[in-house]
Amino acid sequence: MRKIKTALPSSRLVIRRCCEGIVKDVDLKGRLIDATVDFHHLEQQYRDLGTIQELYTLKKYIKNSSTDPLVTSKLLHSELTKIYSNFYAYLDKPARKIYDEIKANALGECPYCGIGNPEHLDHYLPKKYYPQFSITSLNLVPACLDCNVGSKGSDYAAEQGNQIIHPYLDADFYFDQQWIYAEFLDRGDDYIVVEYSVKPPIDWQPIQKERVKTHFMSFNLKNRFSRLAADELSILLEQIKTMEEMGMSSDTTCEVLVNPVINSNLAANNWRKVMHVAAKKYINNK
């Protein structure tokens, strides 16, 4: 998990670029321009509530076969989702440049999981239920396919503790402090596996602890991290065994094999750093 601190384009700029791409539907273009003030206020509301971990309180709009609710003063649910798909995310439209710039802010690393390559922008609050934020930059998070579609999907939080970590708005401690841990487990006959779990700092508030547990489960990090660790584990165990046979002390083994990763600039909850912290404990226990 990584916090993205890059400045994001304002709602006014996004609307201007979207309007440049709306050529035929003059009426829709006019109503989108008229809604500029609405989007500015919505953007500020989103920022204010996101900063205090209360995005779950925002109003939801449900569209079905018989209802297409008016969301802003002049735009319907279906029109807002259409603007995103046809005039923002569409490859040949002027606003697509903004889409690509936001995606590039992730620097090739999905901020939700830290392992996938961001291929899309995920609506943190799904546009299916929150169309008012369908083109709001703060609601658009670069995400890998596993996090965007396979895990999170179109789910939304109904309670404060069920909110996943927000890469733009949540406090730094969610990203700087360790709350994901790994353990080397002996399954018998020297068959070792790495298992990941959540252990938030004891001084965190209950809601904060609940949120990281929700994030861990929502993106299936236990299994995804374990699969990655398995590829590296066999090599690491062989290296540990070799150094033991050479008579190396546990301190020397740690200094050579695991400390460089532990002391690297990898994120606090990066699967590899967490795995090497567990490896150090495993070596010392041996």
Question: CA 285 to CA 266: how far, in whole Å?
Answer: 25
Which pLDDT does position 157 carry in this prediction? Answer: 84
Name the residue with higher pLDDT: 129 or 192. 129
Tokens of 112: 């939700």
Indicate the SS3 state at residue 159.
Answer: coil
Q: Which helix (H) or strand (E) holds 173?
A: helix 173-176
Is residue 286 over pLDDT 80?
Answer: no
Which pLDDT does position 154 carry in this prediction? Answer: 64
Which pLDDT does position 73 carry in this prediction? Answer: 87
**Structural contact between residues 48 and 20, judged by C-beta atoms closer than 8 angstroms:** no
* Mean pLDDT confidence for 10-29: 95
Question: CA 213 to CA 199: how far, in whole Å?
Answer: 8
Distance of CA 34 to the CA centre of its chain: 32
**Structural contact between residues 272 and 116, judged by C-beta atoms closer than 8 angstroms:** no
Which pLDDT does position 64 carry in this prediction? Answer: 87
Question: CA 82 to CA 259: how far, in whole Å?
Answer: 51
Which pLDDT does position 285 carry in this prediction? Answer: 85
**Structural contact between residues 225 and 151, judged by C-beta atoms closer than 8 angstroms:** no
- 47 band by pLDDT with thresholds 50, 70 and 90: very high
- 150 band by pLDDT with thresholds 50, 70 and 90: low
**Structural contact between residues 91 and 100, judged by C-beta atoms closer than 8 angstroms:** no
Which pLDDT does position 151 carry in this prediction? Answer: 55
Q: What average pLDDT is seen over the chain?
A: 93
**Structural contact between residues 162 and 56, judged by C-beta atoms closer than 8 angstroms:** yes
Please choose, from the candidates 157, 278, 268, the residue with its C-alpha nearest in 3D space to the C-alpha of residue 215.
157
Which pLDDT does position 191 carry in this prediction? Answer: 82
Name the residue with higher pLDDT: 2 or 182. 182
Is residue 188 over pLDDT 80?
Answer: no
Which pLDDT does position 192 carry in this prediction? Answer: 86
Secondary structure letter of residue 240 according to DSSP: H
> Residue 236: CB partners within 8 Å, gap ≥ 6?
257, 279
* Mean pLDDT confidence for 267-272: 94
Which pLDDT does position 158 carry in this prediction? Answer: 87
Secondary structure letter of residue 125 according to DSSP: S
Question: CA 137 to CA 99: how far, in whole Å?
Answer: 9
- 6 band by pLDDT with thresholds 50, 70 and 90: confident
The string of DSSP letters for 229-256 reads HHHHHHHHHHHHHHHHHTT--HHHHHHH
Is residue 272 over pLDDT 80?
Answer: yes
* Mean pLDDT confidence for 41-47: 96
* Mean pLDDT confidence for 72-91: 94
Is residue 187 over pLDDT 90?
Answer: no
Question: CA 223 to CA 136: how far, in whole Å?
Answer: 32
Which pLDDT does position 69 carry in this prediction? Answer: 94
Please choose, from the candidates 229, 271, 236, the residue with its C-alpha nearest in 3D space to the C-alpha of residue 254.
236
